[in-house]
Structure 1
Amino acid sequence: MPSLPQPVTSLQNAGIKEVVKLRQRSHRDDNALLIVEGYREVKRALDNHVPICKLFYCPALYQGKNEPTIVARCAELGVPLFECTEPVFMKIAYRDRPEGLLALCPQIRRTLADLKLPANPFVVVAEHIEKPGNLGTMLRTADAAGADALVVCDRCTDVNNPNVVRASIGTLFTV
């Protein structure tokens, strides 16, 4: 059954405060959640069957005409929807220039045992990547090159950091 949006107008809303706390790695890990912000990123998550736990949106910040399709898709899936005022969305936004869409998804936690590779796989191995944005760029490049997987050898960078999602433009969900 499609979900109906709940309006969020208060900066003191408990749910909004929880989203802000997810900027901290420890809070993301404790709740096993990932912040996915932006049209392309949320669309890639949906296209790759990543479950959306909650969707926060602000029509005043949409930068194109396609954002309502994301809200409609999430509504059809029964995702809890939260329509935010601009000040509320700016509080939860991770980006400097938000696009009006922010989803919470389960963290990506995969092991080598989870990999299902073809006979002659193309695997990119990343070691000691310090900056989340660099890991996101590597994911985007691996996706463009047709890699079957990108294996991160250490926990130097949090794969579930919002900057990884942003820099990968959502290819975190495809590689």
Structure 2
Amino acid sequence: MQIIILGAGQVGGTLAEDLVSEDNEITLVDTSRERLAELQNHLDLRTICGQASHPDILAKAGAENTDLLIAVTNSDETNMIACQIAWLLFKIPTKIARVRDPSFLRNRDLLFDKDTEGSLPVDVVISPEQVVTEHIFKLIRYPGALQVLDFANGLVRLVAVKAYYGGPLV
């Protein structure tokens, strides 16, 4: 699979490492030559130094033949605009953006709804802060739970607990 990762920070670097190990063709875009060189020295990937949302940089990264774009720069705006450009100019089929600012997330249904004209063409929105908050909330709601997972759009919930010998669950 042809994948472009925008942002070579901790998340982008880890994604690149994991995806390269699964035999994907990765192009990593960042403004830090040093960070790109560091990653390129131990991973089999292409690197492009430049602004992630710039059309020429995306073209240089091979956007016209890319299956997946993952935008994880430090800027929500850059991530969202990069996805917009990736869709409008290059028709990249799947676009993932990290968005941290709660003001964007509060309007998530309008901003990222494929059926809403003028919305941003982001297929998957990742918000690390929101994921952590939801995880903590579920653990508080289910005291003693090790993990709480939702399936089928929240219709099914799996709660992991530790069962002790002689306890009520055993």
Normalised to the residue count of structure 2, the TM-score between the two structures is 0.31
Normalised to the residue count of structure 1, the TM-score between the two structures is 0.30
Structure (1 or 2) with the larger CA radius of gyration: 2
Structure 1 or 2: more strand by fraction:
2
